[in-house]
């Protein structure tokens, strides 16, 4: 894969609420660049495995109780929250609002949200300064979580940013159309006119790093590639890369979809991403799914 950009920023101590797929890839980049890295997972077993494998500090945190131990945020300069709303809207704030506000070294917070806050725009282009009009419970909860974070540090020196992240793909089993085709799990859902943006997982990290280098309190950013397209396009392209036939398209009305997937397909929008370049100076390594999927083929030898 191409060398990933790392903005000029002095290493500090980054804390991730939720060391999942996206956060862990960024955590490794920051660790290798000299940052102290810590974060949370939901089980003791996973915490032990990650601490041993990655050389980072891992805490167990499921949102129902504070992190055990003394001063988990000692020296923390940056916080990334990837935890979606569940029974608790924002677990980090529910359990550690005062601890974070008391952290004198803290200067930047990023919350990873979703374009679901915009609701359905019937294929129209949406920009960050438009008023959210969520059309699903998921979108409503995310919009409320955004506001909770944006209002939590009013009047402080801490800069809080929101990142509305498009559909994530990247290296790893099941995380991209190539792996799904190989496993026989790729599906093309045919819904005429349906389009959405995607984002390669490491480009999310690049955007967050760019924001850390150029913080703006209250900043909201669409984190997406430059080409909204149909659900079929990346799968057909991936099939061509590895020399297999794409799956037969299934009409949306007869597709067996989860409630979340059906909710996802009920909304159609194109994300404007000019703020990423104009304000943050971020440069996507994978501006469309084509570059992202080609890189996966080259690295993983899946062709």
Identify whether the C-beta of residue 125 lies closer than 8 Å to the C-beta of residue 73: no
* pLDDT for the residue 2: 56
Print the domain residue range for 277: 13-169+200-224+270-286
SS3 (DSSP) at 277 = helix
Residue 98 lies in a domain: yes
Residue 139 located in a structural domain: yes
What is the pLDDT, as a whole number, of residue 9? 87
Instruction: Give tens-digit pLDDT for 141-188.
Output: 999 999 999 999 999 999 999 999 999 999 987 899 999 999 999 999
User: pLDDT digits over 258-267, tens only?
Assistant: 888 888 888 9
* pLDDT tens sequence across 193-249: 999 999 999 999 999 999 999 999 999 999 999 999 999 999 999 999 999 999 999
Q: Can you give the pTM of this predicted structure?
A: 0.95
91 found inside a domain: yes
Q: How confident is the model at residue 302 (pLDDT cuts 50, 70, 90)?
A: very low
- pLDDT tens-digit profile of 54-91? 989 999 999 999 999 889 999 999 999 999 999 999 99
| CATH number of domain containing 212 | 3.40.50.720
154 neighbors 299 (Cβ within 8 angstroms): no
Is 176 exposed, middle or buried (CB count within 10 Å of its CB: 0-12, 13-18, 19+)?
buried
User: Does residue 115 belong to any structural domain of this protein?
Assistant: yes
SS3 169: strand
Residue in this structure with the two tokens 């909304």, named with its chain if needed: 267
63 vs 65: CA distance, rounded Å:
6
Q: For residues 4-10, give the mean pLDDT.
A: 67
Environment class of residue 42 by beta-carbon count within 10 Å: exposed (0-12), middle (13-18) or buried (19+)?
middle
Q: What is the 3-state secondary structure (H, E, C) of 64-93?
A: CCCCCCCCCCCCCCEEEECCCCCCCCCHHH
CB within 8 A of 255, min separation 6: which ones?
Answer: 187, 189
The answer to the question of residue 36 being in a domain is yes
Tell me the C-alpha distance between 161 and 248, whole Å.
Answer: 41
Q: Is residue 1 part of a domain?
A: no
Work out how many domains the chain is built from and give that number. 1
Nearest to 63 by CA among 82, 38, 83, 39: 83
What token pair was written down for 228? Answer: 């909204």
Concatenate the DSSP letters of all residues of 175-195 into one string.
SSHHHHHHTT----EE-TT--
User: Is residue 101 domain-resident?
Assistant: yes
**pLDDT > 90 in the chain, percent:** 88
Whether 22 is in a domain gets the answer yes
Mean of the per-residue pLDDT values of the chain:
94
Cα separation, 168 vs 171, whole angstroms: 11
Q: Where are the alpha helices (DSSP H) in the chain?
A: 21-32, 44-54, 91-101, 137-152, 177-182, 201-213, 232-242, 259-265, 274-278, 289-300
Residue 83 to residue 91: CA distance in whole angstroms = 8
Closest CA to 190 of 269, 257, 131: 257
């Amino acid at each position: 894969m191409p060398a990933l950009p790392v903005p000029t920023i002095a290493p500090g101590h980054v804390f991730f609420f939720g060391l999942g797929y996206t956060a862990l890839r960024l955590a490794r980049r920051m660790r290798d660049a000299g940052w102290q890295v810590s974060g949370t997972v939901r089980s003791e077993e996973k915490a032990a495995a990650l601490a041993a494998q990655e050389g980072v500090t891992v805490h167990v945190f499921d949102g129902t109780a504070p992190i055990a131990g003394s001063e988990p945020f000692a020296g923390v300069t940056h916080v990334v929250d990837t935890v979606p709303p569940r029974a608790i809207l924002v677990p980090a704030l529910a359990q550690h609002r005062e601890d974070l506000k008391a952290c004198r070294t803290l200067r930047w917070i990023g919350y990873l949200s979703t374009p679901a806050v915009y609701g359905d725009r019937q294929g129209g282009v949406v920009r960050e300064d438009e008023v959210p009009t969520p059309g699903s419970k998921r979108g409503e909860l995310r919009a409320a979580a955004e506001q909770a974070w944006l209002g939590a540090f009013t009047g402080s020196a801490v800069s809080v940013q929101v990142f509305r992240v498009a559909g994530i793909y990247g290296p790893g089993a099941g995380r991209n159309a190539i792996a799904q085709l190989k496993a026989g799990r790729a599906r093309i859902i045919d819904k005429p006119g349906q389009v959405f943006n995607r984002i390669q997982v490491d480009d999310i990290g690049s955007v967050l790093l760019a924001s850390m280098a150029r913080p703006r309190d209250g900043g909201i950013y669409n984190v997406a590639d430059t080409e909204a397209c149909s659900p079929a396009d990346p799968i057909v392209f991936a099939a061509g890369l590895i020399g297999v036939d794409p799956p037969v398209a299934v009409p949306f009305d007869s597709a067996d979809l989860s409630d979340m997937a059906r909710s996802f397909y009920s909304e159609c929008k194109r994300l404007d991403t000019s703020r990423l370049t104009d304000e943050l100076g971020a440069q996507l390594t994978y501006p469309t799914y084509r570059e992202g999927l080609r890189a996966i083929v080259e690295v993983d030898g899946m062709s």
